[in-house]
Structure 1
Amino acid sequence: MEKEKENKIAFLDVEIIRKNKQLLMNWYTKSIASGRLINYHSNHPWKQKINTATSMIRKVALLSEKEYIEENMKKTKNILFKNCYPSTFIDRLINNTINRISQNPDNLPPDNTNKKYIGVTYIPGLTDNQILHKIINNKNINYAHKPNNTLNYIFTKIKDPIPKDQQNDVVYKITCNGRDDDKCGKWYIGTTKRQLGIRIYEHQKDAANKTTNTGLAHHLTKSNHIADFSNVEILDIEKREKTRMSLESIRIQQQISNTLNFKEYFDNISRKVYKTIRKDPTQQLMRKNNAIVNELFKENKINIREKFQLASTAAVAPRLYGLPKIHKESMPLRPISSSTRVPCCKLSKHIGAILKNIISEDFNIKNAFQLKERLKNINIEDDEVLISFDVISLFTNIPTHLAIQTIMKQWSQLEKHTNISRKQFQNILEFC
C-alpha cells in the first residue's frame, strides 16, 4: 500500500494531486526513467521517428493540467533534444500536436475497424514511404517498418567467454562413465558459489580417497566407476543463493531417474507446488484443443472459418523468461511466461472475447487517459486520504477453480453472447 505524500500520489503515467478538494493530473515518470527514445540519427524510417516524438508530446499534453503543461513541455523538449532531435523540429512537432488536440478536444481515436496492418522490412530507397504508397495504394491497409539488424543480432558475443573452471555461482552436472564394458550413464547435479574448478577438484579428491560424503563419491566408491571430470556441464548460472539452490533441486527433479544425488538433496522442493512430468504434454494438449474445436463445429457452435482459426497445428510449450528490474539491488528478474503459441492460445482468445462482454467498466481502467477522465469530476474532502494498492503475484495467488466458479456464476449474462452450452463453456475454461 502506498499513501499520498504532500497531497500527491503516483499511479500509472500520472501524478494525482489534491488541490482545493479536487483531483488534478500531471504527467509522471519514475526517477529511474532513462529517457531513451529512438535516436534522430538512427537507421529507422522517418515516419517512425516522427510518430515516436509525437506520441510522447501527445501523452504529456493530454495527461497534464493546463498549469503544468508549460513545464512538462520543457522536460519533453529536453528529452527529445538529448536523443538528438533538432530544436526547431521539436518546436514544430509540439505546435502541430497541440493544434490537433485543440481541434479534437474529446480525444476521439480514428475508426480503424476495417484496417489491416502488415510489417515491412525497412530498406532505404526500396521500401520507403512513397514507394510503398504506390505499391499498396489501399487506404484500409497500414504498414509499419521493422528493422532486422538489431543490436542483439549484431552484437551476439562481445566478450571472450570465461573458462568453465573459472565460473562461479553455477549449477553443474557430472556424468559417470562407468568402467570398461560397464557403462553407467548416470550423473550427479550440484551447485557451488565458488569457482567450478575448485569444486571439481574436491570431487576428484573425494573419489581418490574413496569417501561417501556426497552421492557422487558414494557411487564411485561402491561401484568402482570413473566420473568424467573433464567434461563437466554447466546447467545454470545464478548469483542469488536461494534461487540457485531451487534451480539445483528442479534440475534433479527433472532427471530424478538417473541422478546420483542423495534423496535429501531433492526433498526440499515441494511436491505440492511443482509436479514432475516425464514427457512434454504439448502434442496431447494440441489434440485435446482440436477435439474441442471439432465438437463445436459439428454442433454448429462455430463456422468453418472459426474452426480453422481456433485449431492448433504448430504449438509449443510456454516460454519463461525474465526482464531485469534495473532499479532494484542485484537486479532481480521479473518472470514472464509467454503463451503466444501454446495449444490453447487461440481458443483462450476466443473465450476471452466472450468474457469481455460482461466485464464492468466501473472497476477497470484501460490506461492513464481513462483514469484522468474518471477522476475529472470527483471531489475529495480534507479528512480523506489517497492510497494505492499493489498486489504481489495477483494472478498466481488466485486459485483456478475459484476463478472458474466466479465466471460461471455470471452464466445468465454470458449465455446472451455465445451459443456454446454451459457445460462446454466450463470445460473450455478448465482446459484453457
Structure 2
Amino acid sequence: MSQSDLLELVRFIFDNTYFTYQGRYYRQTLGAPMGEGSLATVLEHFNSYNTHLQFTAEEEVDNSIPFLDIRVIRMGEVLRTDWYNKPSSSGRYLHYRSCHPQNMKLNLVTQMKTRVLRLTHPTFHSQCIFKLKKLFVMNGYPIKLLNKLLCNTSSSPPVEVTMSLNTDAMIDRADIVYATIPYIPVLSNKISLIFKDYKHIKIVKTMKHPLFKLVFSRLKDKEKEEYESGVVYSIPCGSCERTYIGQTSRWIKERITSHKSDARRNLRTCALAIHANNNDHVIDYSNTKILFKEPHYHKRLFLEMLSIAVTDNTMNTKQDTNNLNNIYSYLIELSKNFASTNS
C-alpha cells in the first residue's frame, strides 16, 4: 500500500465514524474512533513498521490514569486529579546542605507546594503536603523549617493577581543594571549588602560547579582545532619573531586558507599579507594557536584588541586597537612597566 493510499484510508476512517447511544445515531467529529480492541490493533499496526520506533499507550487502571505529574481519577461522572510520581522518580531535589543561597532553597519548597496544590483536587491536598514534606526531609531539610513553610500557611493555592500596567515602573526597570558574582557562602551576601541602597543595581549570584567537569567525562570526541569557529587566534611568522592576531566566526581552517590566498595575491587589506610580501617572509601557518573561544561577535572583537595590545612584536597595525578603551590601554601599559621593573 502506498503512503497516499494509507493516508486516504486513515482520513476516511476518521471522517466516517458513527456510534449509537440510547437508540440514537451519532457521528464522531473529534478524536480517534472509539471501540473495544481498536487501540491495541492500531498500536500493533504502527509498531510493525520500524523496530526502532515504537509507540506505547497508557490505559486506565483502577479508574485512574497518569498524565505527566498528575493522576486523573474517575469517580463516577467526575474527574479529579492527584499528584503523581513515576516509579523511576528518585525524589531528589536541591539538598539543604548544598552550596546554594538560602532563599533559593526556601523558594524551592514554597513553589513546589504551590505547584502541587494547583495540580491537585482539594480532597488530596493534605496527603500531598505530607508526601512533599517527606521528600524534602529525605533531602536534608529541617523539619521545623518545613512545618513553617508547608504546614503553618494556607493549604489553598494562591490567587492570581493581575497587576496594572505602570509606565513609570517599566521605565525604572529598564534602568536597572544587573551584575553577576559567584556565590560564596557569607562573602557573597556581604557584597550584596554593600549595594543594597543602590536601587538601580541588582546583584545576581551565579553558581559554579567545577565538580561536574571532574565527575562527568565528555564522551564525545573533541572537535579538531581546525574546525573550531568563533575564535581569536595567532599565527607566527616563520622568518622572524612577529605574530599576527585575528578573529573569525568561520572555521579556523577556512580563515587560514583566506590568509594564504591574500598573501599569494599580495592584497594590502590584511596586515599578515603585507608583512609576508614586504619582507619576503614565510608565515608559519602550521603553528596557528587559538587564544580564545567566544561566539559573541563584540566580545570576540574586544578579546582580539586586548590580545594585540598585550602582545609584543605583532604584525597588526595600530588601527586594529583604535576602539580599545583608554583605561585598558593604561592598565596594560602599567602592567608591562611593573613586569619590566621586577624582572
TM-score > 0.5 by shorter chain: no
**TM-score tier (shorter):** 0.3 to 0.5
Which structure would you say has the larger RCO, counting Cα contacts within 8 Å and 6 or more residues apart?
Answer: 1
TM-score with structure 2 setting the length: 0.42
TM-score with structure 1 setting the length: 0.34
Higher-Rg structure is 2
